């Protein structure tokens, strides 16, 4: 399972290249790319981010390409939780995250996680709870509405072969992956929006005690 925008920064291209080269003919594996496209007119654009042509629409917003599925629907929270819970692993070779919400969500459902060793999720992950991927810097074009076409940024890049190796290792040593996932689920229970907001307020109060007094 991969949850995120179908763009380079989220690592969807790395996962697709990995899948196309080593996993698309395997009978023991399937992959779901979960993304949300608010504007239906942008759905073809989203699919153009994907490496494979010839997607077959199985249901409105759900497309198949062999053992790879693209799900563009907006799902209720309960269905999203079930999606995480049905996956044997969560692959997230992201090029950079402010927080890494989908990593947090996968961990909360005790889904074994493979993720890049870069980004905000390092605050709540460790070698004891996830499988890390090494990365190098790579130039890429900034994407999104209104982005200048010549805007090039550097982001983390994971080698598709490294991701494939991590997924294969997780499958061959799945009990160990589950132990890490369960430890991760216990750990992220302490990371909530309320506690994050309280931590921010505590830092602000320490840096600006006069402002905190006025606010009180």
pLDDT in tens, 102-153: 999 999 999 999 999 999 999 999 999 999 999 998 876 655 555 555 567 7
Q: Judge whether residue 22 has pLDDT over 80.
A: yes
Return the pLDDT at 138: 83
Average pLDDT value for residue range 149-177: 90
Nearest residue to 181 (alpha-carbon basis) of 134, 133, 118, 131: 131
Return the pLDDT at 122: 95
pLDDT in tens, 171-207: 999 999 999 999 999 999 988 878 888 888 888 888 8
Q: Percentage of the chain with pLDDT > 70?
A: 84
Where does residue 20 fall: left (phi above 0), alpha (psi -120 to 50 degrees), or beta otherwise? alpha
Return the pLDDT at 149: 59
pLDDT in tens, 25-78: 999 999 999 987 655 555 555 555 565 667 888 998 898 989 999 898 889 999
Average pLDDT value for residue range 15-30: 93
Return the pLDDT at 24: 92
Return the pLDDT at 195: 85
Instruction: Give the predicted TM-score (pTM) of the model.
Output: 0.84
């Amino acid at each position: 399972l991969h949850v995120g925008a179908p763009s380079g920064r989220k690592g969807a291209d790395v996962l697709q290249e990995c899948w196309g080269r080593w996993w698309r003919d395997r009978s023991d594996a399937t992959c779901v790319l979960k993304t949300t496209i608010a504007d239906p007119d942008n759905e073809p654009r989203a699919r153009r981010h994907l490496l494979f042509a010839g997607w077959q629409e199985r249901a409105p917003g759900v497309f198949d390409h062999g053992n790879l599925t693209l799900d563009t629907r907006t799902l209720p929270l309960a269905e999203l939780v079930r999606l995480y819970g049905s996956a044997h692993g969560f692959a997230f070779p992201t090029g950079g995250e402010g927080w890494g919400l989908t990593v947090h969500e996968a961990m909360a459902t005790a889904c074994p996680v493979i993720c890049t060793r870069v980004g905000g999720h390092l605050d709540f992950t460790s070698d004891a709870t996830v499988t890390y991927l090494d990365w190098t810097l790579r130039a890429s074009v900034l994407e999104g509405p209104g982005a200048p076409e010549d805007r090039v940024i550097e982001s983390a890049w994971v080698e598709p072969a490294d991701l494939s190796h991590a997924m294969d290792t997780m499958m061959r040593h799945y009990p160990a992956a589950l132990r890490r996932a369960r430890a991760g689920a216990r750990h992220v229970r302490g990371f909530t929006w309320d506690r994050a907001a309280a931590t921010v307020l505590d830092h602000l109060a320490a840096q600006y005690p006069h402002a905190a007094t006025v606010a009180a």
